[in-house]
Structure 1
Amino acid sequence: MIIRNATEKDIPSILELLYELGRPEPIDKKEIIVFKNKIKDYFSDPTKLILVAEIDSEIVGLVSIIFLRRLNHAKFEMYVPELIVKKKHRFTGVGKKLIAKCISIGKEENCYRIRLESGNQRKESHKFYKGLGFEQSGLSFSKNLLGNKIEINEM
């Protein structure tokens, strides 16, 4: 298995992995272009990175990385929005190798921590992260803004 920086030729495989994880699929050809351009933006942004895991020329996993500046830290925080391994390659060490590469890059870039999120329903993923030394350090809150009327009540 090799872990390498993703390239534009990897975009179809990256999109497939995102869909396999349950991320929204494009609703039309216009949206496919939008998704592809979002991935291309990662390639040109020095604060973002996509790594892929490849076995026998097949992309079997990916991790996306964003280096964030925080107001209360001099060093970057490494944020991992996506870590995805194809179903048939889970529990084979692919995810561990992707995280190990993140840790290595985080140390090289002098990051103060790696942070990621995992959906409440992904119990196996939670065990995986804890087994790698990650700790639950907070709760994540979100508000869907699509199709909802936004109201903020004054106190």
Structure 2
Amino acid sequence: MQIFVRRATENDIPVILELLYVLGRPIAKNDLEITTFSRQIKQYITNPDKQILVAQTNSKIVGLVSLIFVTRLNQEKLEMYIPELVVAKEYRYKGTGKNLVAECIKIAKEKKCYRIRLESGNQRVESHKFYKKLGFTQHALTFTFEIQ
């Protein structure tokens, strides 16, 4: 199976939404939410400080990674932050995620980032093994405060 990684386009938005649902992100409840989420993805695609990459095989999108380039107060170089990385279940363990991460590393080097950072839920034990296998190290704990 050959995996091709490319930047997402507006035409990819419906598939991007579906993959985000696989990741456990909120499912649009109605047409208004679909429009809102689609608009947010479009803004992400067109923002120079952000990117969405998709993994494709046989013209089918099977994974994605989103990137944000962050300026830190105590660093001269950018940090690449990965908020989302997801591969469709039937395409896992076939190199899809590895290809997406490899492209992220390539981009981070081109932009001269000082590091790549991501978060992974405590329950995602297999994902943690995957990241460690690719050379990522656990660096911190994440704390959240939900605003209602």
TM range, smaller chain: over 0.9
Shift of 1:141: 0.4
SS, match of residue 19 in structure 1: helix
CA distance in 2 between counterparts of 1:144 and 1:26 reads 20
Aligned residue in 2 for 1:57: 59
Q: Are 1:13 and 2:15 matched, yes or no?
A: yes
Q: Which of 134, 137, 141 is residue 136 of structure 2 equivalent to?
A: 134
Deviation digits for residues 55-86 of structure 1 (CA, Å, limit 9, x no counterpart):
00100000000000000001100000000000
Structure 1: stretches of 5+ with no match in the other structure: 147-155
Deviation for aligned residue 1:27:
1.9
Query: Which residues in structure 2 correspond to 1:77-116 (within 5 Å)?
Result: 77-116=79-118
RMSD: 0.6
Q: How many angstroms apart in 1 are the aligned matches of 2:72 and 2:49?
A: 13
Name the counterpart of 2:75: 73
Greater relative contact order, per chain length (Cα 8 Å cut-off, separation 6+): 2
Any runs of at least 4 consecutive aligned residues in structure 1 with deviations exceeding 2 A, and if so which?
A: none
> For residue 47 of structure 2, what is the aligned residue in structure 1?
45
User: How do residues 15-34 of structure 1 correspond to structure 2 at under 5 angstroms?
Assistant: 15-34=17-36
Offset at 1:42?
A: 1.1
- What is the total number of aligned residue pairs between the two structures? 146
Q: Which of 115, 119, 125 is the aligned partner of 1:123? A: 125
Q: Larger Cα Rg: Structure 1 or Structure 2? A: 1
* TM-score (norm. length: structure 1): 0.93
Partner amino acid, structure 2, of 1:136:
Q
Separation in structure 1 between the aligned mates of residue 37 and residue 142 of structure 2, nearest angstrom: 24
Q: Secondary structure of 1:139's partner? A: coil
- Normalised by the length of structure 2, the TM-score is 0.97
Distance 1:114 1:37 in 2: 26
Letter in 1 for 2:130: F
Deviation at 1:45, TM superposition (A): 0.7
Deviation of 1:97 after TM superposition, in Å, equals 0.5
